């Protein structure tokens, strides 16, 4: 590292590990059940232990993920945000996102969530077709998804993301585009459109479903992206479409910092004094997490990032418009010249464009992103 390293924006990720039912494709740290007593107090104690990472920064964005954090009670939401405001300085007009499942949507709760400080919802719709929702193990119906979004907009959520999947069992391109059109007509500010993947340690990995052939899935992705762009949803990241990009997501992809609190939460921290970048991890099991916090044991595992250049490229090459060489240097502490040979090789294969200190994937590189990222391993 050298003195190019600067403190990036700082976000906060809060993990809520419980859900009503574990979906067969889900590889996130989620557990069936309801919130344990004392979890909000544990989150705030966890944050107290991580306040040294703030380094005089305001919080740039907050994201509450899961699990299904919309299961949280309104009292818990107010307790959480009272505690956050006591401990942190939040940026003016900060983006605060809550992941929500349409099957746990209660109108009065969402009005209260908004009062507590949440101003953006990410709604896990996945599909508006009941047959596809059943295949995915979701607990909501298509009509419940529609109602949830209408009600969210009614109580003032004008910044709203809809998650949709493609490449599902029995799905055709026409069905995929119908789902997208339904989402577009709801006028959300953001749509996340991504392919179903069979992740290790999931039910789908153990009992793989019959999915469309690769060519059909490719067509769904291409046609879906074209429709979204045509309708004004500009692709800014591999699976994200919006004229109003998520500030939290962009900070993540631009290798910004984030404190992670909650069971299984990850963090990424730049330490200017030591000129190092660290990853943090909290205990995965909610029971283990709560028990260690209650007994006062230090719960954070901290590890220095070994290959900083690769980690930056792994993240930032997902951004369609790329990044400046100055951003690379300020976020990694390395000169862009350390990547010269890799940048030239990727450029010669028409995977990468490097002009006027701006680096971005070509259309070919964006389509073959794994191959492009491997140049920087």
Specify the pLDDT at position 4.
Answer: 80
| Same structural domain, 82 and 160 | yes
What percentage of the chain reaches a pLDDT higher than 70? Answer: 99
| Same structural domain, 248 and 339 | no
Q: What is the pLDDT of residues 221-231, one digit of tens each?
A: 999 999 999 99
Residue 146 within any structural domain of the chain: yes
CATH number of residue 370's parent domain: 1.10.10
Residue 269 within any structural domain of the chain: no
Specify the pLDDT at position 107.
Answer: 72
Specify the pLDDT at position 264.
Answer: 96
Distance CA 263, CA 63 (A): 15
Residue 92 within any structural domain of the chain: yes
Specify the pLDDT at position 210.
Answer: 95
Residue 280 within any structural domain of the chain: no
Beta bridge partners of 66: 16
| Same structural domain, 70 and 216 | yes
SS3 at position 186: coil
Q: What is the pLDDT of residues 66-92, one digit of tens each?
A: 999 999 999 999 999 999 999 999 999
Distance CA 252, CA 9 (A): 10
- Domain ends where: 252, 283, 304? 252
pLDDT at 297 over 90: no
Q: Grade residue 27 by pLDDT with cuts at 50, 70 and 90.
A: confident
Question: Helix-strand-coil percent breakdown of the chain, rounded to 5?
Answer: 40, 25, 35
Q: Grade residue 114 by pLDDT with cuts at 50, 70 and 90.
A: very high
pLDDT at 1 over 60: no
Q: Work out how many domains the chain is built from and give that number.
A: 2
Q: What is the mean pLDDT of residues 171-176?
A: 98
- Nearest in space to 113 (alpha carbons), one of 105, 87, 34, 248: 105
Lowest mean pLDDT among 1-5, 11-15, 189-193, 279-283: 1-5
Residue 227 within any structural domain of the chain: yes
Residue 303 within any structural domain of the chain: no
Distance CA 279, CA 97 (A): 22
| Same structural domain, 224 and 323 | no
- Domain ends where: 252, 282, 302? 252
| Same structural domain, 76 and 205 | yes
Distance CA 121, CA 131 (A): 25
- Nearest in space to 120 (alpha carbons), one of 145, 90, 99: 99
Q: What is the pLDDT of residues 143-171, one digit of tens each?
A: 999 999 999 999 999 999 999 999 999 99
Distance CA 286, CA 15 (A): 10
Residue 361 within any structural domain of the chain: yes
Give the contacts of 205 (CB within 8 A, at least 6 positions apart): 198, 199
Residue 338: domain span: 313-374
| Same structural domain, 318 and 220 | no
| Same structural domain, 317 and 248 | no
Residue 208 within any structural domain of the chain: yes
Distance CA 44, CA 98 (A): 17
| Same structural domain, 44 and 150 | yes
Token pair 């746990």: residue? 104
| Same structural domain, 233 and 98 | yes
CATH number of residue 105's parent domain: 3.20.20.70
């Amino acid at each position: 590292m050298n003195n190019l390293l600067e403190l990036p924006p700082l976000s906060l990720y809060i993990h809520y590990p419980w859900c009503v039912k574990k979906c067969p494709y889900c590889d996130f740290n989620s557990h069936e059940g309801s919130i344990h007593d004392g979890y909000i107090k544990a989150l705030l104690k966890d944050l107290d232990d991580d306040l040294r990472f703030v380094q005089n920064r305001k919080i740039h964005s907050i994201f509450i993920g899961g699990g299904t954090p919309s299961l949280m009670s309104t009292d818990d939401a107010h307790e959480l945000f009272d505690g956050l405001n006591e401990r942190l300085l939040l940026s003016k007009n900060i983006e605060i996102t809550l992941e929500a499942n349409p099957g746990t949507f209660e109108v009065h709760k969402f009005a209260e969530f908004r009062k507590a400080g949440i101003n953006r919802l990410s709604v896990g719709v996945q599909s508006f077709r009941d047959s596809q929702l059943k295949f995915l193990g979701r607990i909501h119906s298509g009509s419940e998804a529609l109602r949830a979004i209408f009600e969210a907009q009614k109580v003032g959520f004008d910044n709203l993301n809809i998650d949709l999947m493609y490449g599902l069992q029995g799905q055709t391109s026409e069905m995929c585009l119908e789902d997208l059109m339904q989402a577009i007509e709801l006028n959300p500010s953001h749509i996340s459109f991504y392919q179903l993947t069979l992740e290790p340690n999931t039910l789908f990995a153990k009992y793989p479903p019959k999915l469309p052939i690769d060519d059909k899935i490719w067509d769904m992705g291409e046609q879906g992206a074209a429709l979204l762009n045509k309708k004004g949803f500009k692709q800014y990241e591999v699976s994200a479409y919006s004229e109003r990009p998520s500030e939290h997501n962009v900070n993540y992809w631009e290798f910004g910092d984030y404190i992670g609190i909650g069971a299984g939460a990850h963090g990424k921290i730049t330490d200017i004094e030591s000129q190092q970048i660290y990853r943090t991890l909290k205990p995965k099991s909610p029971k283990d997490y709560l028990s260690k916090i209650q007994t006062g044991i230090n719960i954070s595992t901290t590890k220095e990032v070994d290959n900083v250049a690769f980690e930056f490229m792994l993240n930032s090459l997902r951004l369609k418009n790329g990044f400046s060489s100055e951003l690379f240097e300020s976020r990694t502490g390395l000169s862009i010249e350390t990547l010269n040979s890799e940048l030239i090789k990727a450029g010669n294969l028409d995977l990468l464009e490097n002009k006027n200190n701006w680096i971005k994937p070509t259309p070919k590189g964006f389509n073959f992103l794994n191959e492009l990222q491997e140049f920087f391993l």
